Amino acid sequence: MRLMVYIVNEGGHDYSAASSFGELKILTKGNLPVFSLDRIRERIKRGLKQFDPEKDFILLSGSLVPNVITVSLLVKKFGQIKILIFDAKKGNYKQRELRIEW
């Protein structure tokens, strides 16, 4: 199974540098109905059906609302996720891990 990079909200940027971490998959594109949280959540859940927290990455991008929903869903389900954050100074992505324990 190939590693995946889930782009939360594609906004017209060049994400090709993230392909070194896995195959790129877009969860949402462009402007979203940010007051329709249930619709956004369901769209994201459908896109994350094959998500593997041990292998796959979430690439934070675009609107804040789908990013918050995506991270919340995955942390609730798995307790941890791997995130890619773009370093504008170096022009590449940095990998970070988020673990939530109460």
Question: What is the pLDDT at residue 27?
Answer: 95
Q: Confirm whether pTM is higher than 0.85.
A: yes
CA distance 26 to 75: 19
**Which residue from 81, 52, 56, 54 is spatially nearest to 69, judged by alpha carbons?**
81
Tell how strand 80-87 and strand 23-29 pair up: unpaired
State which residues of the chain have pLDDT below 70: 1
For residue 76, give every residue at least 6 positions away whose Cβ sits within 8 Å of its Cβ, in sequence order, or none. none
